[in-house]
Copies of this chain bind each other. A is one copy, B any other.
């Protein structure tokens, strides 16, 4: 079995998964530590999607860490297909959430300080930026695992 960097069970994959977990959690925290996010559908959607991404990535961090530090786990085609599909769906959802949040924040910034105090708005922007980074890493994971598929 070749060791393609970034595919499941390698240290590059562990780094990607850690990045996803950190960015998704950061996005969630920036949005949720403020209590006003319920008033906009896009922000609720971001919280829902990031609430899906965080447990998914954390599970895979544990699997990859076990595979790297303890014992290399066998790669089964079915599991790799589930991983690819999961990453792929989550990457579409994260992109949608990040774009919605970014555009709503942009509109709120235009609308002026009454809708969006400077402190809150920069927090929304940070949250959207973290969601974009999380999307990018999910996409990378999905592509690397996809590359692995024909060799199985």
Contacts and interface: CB of A to CB of B under 8 A. Distances in A.
Contact of A103 (B42, B92, B95, B111): B42
A5 B100 CA distance: 34
Interface residues of A, number: 20
A105 B101 CA distance: 13
A132 to B, nearest CB: 10
Contact of A102 (B100, B101, B107, B108): B100
A53 B111 CA distance: 31
Contacts of A39: 110
Given A95-B95, A95-B96, A111-B111, A103 B104 contact: yes
Contacts of A102: 100
